Chains A and B, each alone.
Chain A
Amino acid sequence: MRIVVAGGRTQADFLIGTLVKKKHKIIVINDDLQYCDYLASTHKIPVVHGDPSKYFVLEEAGIKDYDVVIALTHRDADNLAICQYAKRCFGVKKVICTVANPKNAELFKELGVNTVISSTHMVAQYIAQATTVENLIKTMSIEDEKVIISELLVEPNYACVGKTLMNITLPPNTIIGCIIRKSSDMIVPNGNTEIKSGDKLLVIASPETQEKVIAAIAKQ
């Protein structure tokens, strides 16, 4: 894919590294001259110096008909301007940006940005989810929080230990998608798979059912 990375510091650095490894064609635009030099020499890629929220900078960088533009500046309004220029003037189909103010996430989507990432929102959500149950090890949401995947450690005193999946009642729209067990790499379970103490379960649920399914599994 042909991708433009506009603005940003450490995030941009990390993202560019990942994208270069995957052999994507990248244009980097950054308004900090020193950081441009750093990015160019670290990743061996062309870097355009300038304010990416200016039309002529985007034009000179040659972003026309690129597949994706990712705006990572620290100013939300700048990110919106970059995304809107890309979409309205340069035929870019997919535009992505980060926002500092989580309230802008929904707003920017309404104003035409395809994907808006709010790190504050994600961290807050992560903490909220992590504090629901002690044994919740990791949780992530995909598809704009329509789907939540949680990793849950099975304690010896759980009622489900020793039971097969078909004998455990889970709320509708939830499933145990994978079991990680120390003795084997991973198991995609079926109805006859038995849950053992120490298993890590990957549970797929919706935001509404996440707490219920965890409560069902963690019942003692």
Chain B
Amino acid sequence: MQLDKRERVIIVGCGRLGARLATMLSDKGYQVVIIDNDDAAFRKLPESFGGFQVKADGIDLDTLKYVDIDEASVLVACTGNDNMNSLIAQIASRIYGVPNVYVRFEDTEKELLIKGFNIQGIYPFKLTMGFFEESLFGDDEEDEE
């Protein structure tokens, strides 16, 4: 995906992933808004962070309207709660038509909730399993081919 620097990225959930992602994108010059309902969560952002921090409930429609969700190009739902992430991603994609929506799920079966929608799931479990498969059996598979 090619992203124009003027385009807006909304990240909901300022955990380790959200904070690092926001910092990376902000450092690269993108317009970043990060939302979390806990003030303390923003401590993970460096002082140099150039984006907007919004302390609010990310599943509240008014919060998302406040950060102009209808003008966002990218939304990443990475709070610590799968069901909240699913809800946020669905609001962004299905209600506001945000073109690039990413959602993190701990529980891989949550995939069934977003199947068929224009939402990209990220599953740490699958990535970890993939890593083990690759590192333990990666060479074997290549041999078989």
Report if A and B associate in a common complex. yes
A53 within 8 A of B: yes
Q: Mark interface residues in A36-73 (1 if CB within 8 Å of B CB, else 0).
A: 00000000000000000111100000000000000000
Q: Mark interface residues in B66-104 (1 if CB within 8 Å of A CB, else 0).
A: 000000000000000111101100110011000000000
* Residue in A55, A77, A110 whose CB lies within 8 Å of B59: A77
Q: Judging by beta carbons under 8 Å apart, are B113 and A81 in contact?
A: yes
Q: Judging by beta carbons under 8 Å apart, are B109 and A88 in contact?
A: no
A75 within 8 A of B: yes
Q: Judging by beta carbons under 8 Å apart, are A103 and B62 in contact?
A: yes
Rounded to whole Å, the gap between the CB of B13 and the closest CB of chain A is 13
* Bound Cα distance from A56 to B108, whole angstroms: 11
Q: Judging by beta carbons under 8 Å apart, are A53 and B95 in contact?
A: no
The interface residues of chain A lying within 8 Å CB-to-CB of B110 are: 55, 81
Closest to B59 in A: A77
Q: Mark interface residues in A71-115 (1 if CB within 8 Å of B CB, else 0).
A: 000011110110011001100000000000101100100110000
Closest to A82 in B: B83
B3 within 8 A of A: no
Task: Give the bracket for the number of chain B residues in contact with chain A.
Answer: 20 to 34
Rounded to whole Å, the gap between the CB of A78 and the closest CB of chain B is 5
- Secondary structure call for the A interface: helix
Closest to B87 in A: A77
* Residue in A77, A84, A103 whose CB lies within 8 Å of B81: A77
Q: Judging by beta carbons under 8 Å apart, are A80 and B60 in contact?
A: no
* Bound Cα distance from A55 to B83, whole angstroms: 12
The interface residues of chain A lying within 8 Å CB-to-CB of B107 are: 54-55
The interface residues of chain B lying within 8 Å CB-to-CB of A80 are: 83, 86-87
Given known contacts A85-B112, A103-B61, A77 and B83 CB-to-CB distance under 8 angstroms: yes
* Residue in A75, A107, A110 whose CB lies within 8 Å of B83: A75
The interface residues of chain B lying within 8 Å CB-to-CB of A88 are: 112-113, 115
* Bound Cα distance from A54 to B86, whole angstroms: 13
Q: Judging by beta carbons under 8 Å apart, are B112 and A89 in contact?
A: yes
Within A6-44, the residues touching B (CB, 8 Å) are none
Q: Judging by beta carbons under 8 Å apart, are A78 and B83 in contact?
A: yes
The interface residues of chain A lying within 8 Å CB-to-CB of B94 are: 110-111
The interface residues of chain B lying within 8 Å CB-to-CB of A84 are: 86, 113
Q: Judging by beta carbons under 8 Å apart, are A107 and B61 in contact?
A: yes
Most buried by B among A77, A107, A110: A77
| Extra pairs beyond A77-B83, A107-B91, A110-B95 (12, CB < 8 Å) | A55-B107, A56-B109, A75-B83, A76-B87, A80-B83, A81-B87, A81-B110, A85-B113, A88-B115, A101-B60, A107-B61, A107-B95
Taking Cβ atoms with an 8 Å cutoff, the residues of A that contact B are: 53-56, 75-78, 80-81, 84-85, 88-89, 101, 103-104, 107, 110-111
Instruction: List 7 tightest A-B contacts by C-beta distance, closest first.
Output: A55-B109, A77-B83, A81-B83, A77-B87, A77-B84, A78-B83, A103-B61
Can you offer 6 A-B residue contacts whose CB atoms are under 8 A? Answer: A55-B112, A80-B83, A85-B112, A85-B113, A88-B115, A111-B90
